[in-house]
Amino acid sequence: MEYSANDSAISVASASQSRFEPDDKEHTPTAPEAIILQPAPTTIPAAENPPSEGDILHPRDRSLSLSTSFSPSPSISTMSPSPFSDINSASVRESLSPPYLQQVCTPEREVEAEAGIVPDPAPGAEDGDGEDEMRRLEEQAAVEQAEEGSIVVDRDEVGGGGSDAGYESDNNTSASTSMAESMREYVFENGRRYHRFREGRYNFPNDDVEQQREDMKHAMVKMLCNQLLFAPLGVNPQEILDIGTGTGIWAIEMGDIYESANILGVDLSPIQPEWVPPNVRFMVDDIESPWLHPRNFFDYIHARHTVMAIKDWPRLMRRSLEHLRPGGWLEIQEVYHYPISLNGTMAADNPVAKYWALINEGLANLGVNFYGVTGLADMMRDCGYINVTERVLQIPIGTWPKNKVLKTVGLYWRTILLDGIQAIALGPLTRGCGWSREQVELFLIQVRRAYQDNGGLMYMPLHIIYGQKPMNY
């Protein structure tokens, strides 16, 4: 699929403009209502210096690897060297490139092999068939163990000495997209950058460091689940909505797979890339406001990692039901952010447990039910969805699983949590609990240490819930 550059033709829908099916009982936001990013195809010049074999590209700039017949726009840059000194943390970041970039991202293979994560080639597998079969069996076993709650422990990792060194949080910030200057008017607080549109609606940063962490979360979930979605979508969907699209990486990959569909990603922050498939576009809006689209419009609505932002789940589910076509699907993928110990050794005063309890307390004071994920399936049924299915997979924290896929997933997830330990805590604890930044940073020291303990066999459940709109609705 050819990609095109979005030259940010931004239109503003004001409060005076009519909406499709307005909800008269709900608050009507003031102008600007939504900022729609319309892609404008451009002529791509021939490349003078195409990427070399050793270049490392950011996952969201992956279109540059699809062809060597053009040169990237000056606003599209290759990934800068990792600011983190820890070799395992760096290898995790480098290994996040999608399959079609792996031919130019090779250093992580040697690092992971030395760490015992990548399986050795099977005997007699010169053609790669044996290694592919081994990897397929590992992936199949990983999904089965994660869903059945039967993750096999790697005793070598639990016995001590198997933990990685600590990680440091980074608070560097910079704009990452070429858009109208008015959209760059972000809010800076405690050294981190936050969204300006509907300021305070989302309590977590949107700077470059956080964007890389969000892409790591996408890679981790994709590795664990081995797929982008679970609902039986079919082969020819037409309209797909991604709620809380973030960096847009899920929407872009869906656009590559479902070329027949129009993919719309909605988020409060204009942080999505310019180079996207022609069937993908992004909108800056608050998903909990009345929607711009007519009823019975979408074939599939997707929400992931939004539990820390949504304040009224029943209303969002009802609105999704109204805007789905009969037979369409809503799918929600959310992590229950509280560590659970496989061997029952997690005490309430464990620093990691205390950390997440405080995050929940801060978000509750800000009107967000952080642990509401456990009731989403029942909410979906109460709203009128049918064929509601819930699957729960365990995400290990650390390298304690014996299965090599789950071991890598655990390494990714622990790195994600450690890299985001400050970003996750600052908003809820300073805004919701009244802490100072100095109090937060002091508390995080003991939390970082506790994350390195593989003996607790910690994991977090990933809830995947999907339901269908009745045909006669």
What CATH number is attached to the domain comprising 380? 3.40.50.150
Q: Specify if 442 maps to a domain.
A: yes
- What is the pLDDT, as a whole number, of residue 18? 34
Q: Specify if 25 maps to a domain.
A: yes
- What is the pLDDT, as a whole number, of residue 201? 63
Q: Specify if 405 maps to a domain.
A: yes
* Alpha-carbon distances of 383 from 50, 300, 317, 321, rounded to whole Å: 52, 17, 7, 8
- What is the pLDDT, as a whole number, of residue 45? 43
CA distance linking residue 364 with residue 361, whole number of Å: 5
Q: Specify if 473 maps to a domain.
A: no
Q: How many structural domains compose the chain?
A: 1
Q: Specify if 321 maps to a domain.
A: yes
Q: What is the pLDDT along the chain (473 residues), one digit of tens a residue?
A: 656 555 432 333 333 333 334 344 444 444 344 444 444 444 434 444 444 444 433 444 433 333 333 333 333 333 333 333 333 444 444 444 444 333 334 334 443 544 555 554 444 445 567 778 877 788 888 888 887 777 888 777 776 444 443 333 333 333 233 345 556 577 676 777 776 666 656 667 777 888 888 899 999 999 999 999 999 998 889 999 999 898 999 999 999 999 989 999 998 888 788 888 999 999 888 888 889 889 999 999 999 998 888 888 999 999 999 999 999 999 999 999 999 999 888 888 899 999 999 999 999 999 888 888 999 999 999 999 999 999 999 999 999 999 999 999 999 999 999 998 998 899 899 999 999 999 999 999 999 999 988 888 999 999 999 999 999 98
Q: Specify if 242 maps to a domain.
A: yes
CA distance linking residue 209 with residue 424, whole number of Å: 12
Q: Specify if 50 maps to a domain.
A: yes
- What is the pLDDT, as a whole number, of residue 348? 82
**Residue corresponding to tokens 């070799």:** 87
- What is the pLDDT, as a whole number, of residue 127? 53
- What is the pLDDT, as a whole number, of residue 410? 95
> Range of 289's domain?
4-120+129-468
Q: Specify if 58 maps to a domain.
A: yes
